[in-house]
Amino acid sequence: MNRSEALAYLASEYKTLASVAEIEESDSAIGYKNVINSALRELGYTESDLATTECDYTASVKNYTALLDYYALRRLTRVLATKIDYSIDGQSHKEQQIYAQAKELLEEATIIVTALGFNVGTANSMTFGTLNLDFLTSGTEF
């Protein structure tokens, strides 16, 4: 999956939310560029590889699409959080209802991405390790 395929995926999945949030369906700063870059960074790609990289393997594509969902929904909820409910000429527009739905989708995406082993959002993580200090001794017992 290359950048244009990732962009097509995001555009098809989040067309309605993106139109309400006024996010362009493009690989630009006002579109999904940062979403795609964040997903690729999480997969371990370097900054110099972001523009040209492709995810080849099935497992990587699964992780990539899950991360794309998470970062897209995170961006959408941030933009939608600024929207307010309003009425014009007797017509009511419930912008906060759309935000609430996007927030629920973000929570689901966070659970999925965390289950795949990525530490994003409010996920708790723990790392275990050992420190071997045997090099400090001369090899004789005290």
Calculate ∠ Cα 37-42-45, nearest 5°.
Answer: 70
Residue with tokens 């630009």: 28
Quick one: pLDDT at residue 97? 86
Answer whether 50's CB lies under 8 Å from 40's CB.
yes
Q: What is the spatial distance between Cα 119 and Cα 14, in angstroms, rounded to a whole number? A: 23
**pLDDT computed for residue 121 by the predictor:** 63
Domain locations in the chain as residue ranges:
3-136
Q: Look at residue 95 in the predicted model and tell me its pLDDT.
A: 80
pLDDT at 98: 87
**pLDDT number for residue 133:** 60
pLDDT at residue 35, rounded to an integer: 93
Q: In this predicted structure, what is the pLDDT of residue 123?
A: 47
User: Is 52 within 8 Å of 61 (Cβ atoms)?
Assistant: no
**Burial zone of 134 (CB within 10 Å; 0-12 exposed, 13-18 middle, 19+ buried):** exposed
pLDDT of the chain, 142 residues: tens digit per residue: 888 999 999 999 999 888 888 888 888 888 899 999 999 999 888 888 888 888 776 668 899 999 999 999 999 999 988 887 888 888 887 888 888 999 999 999 999 999 999 988 654 556 566 666 666 666 565 5
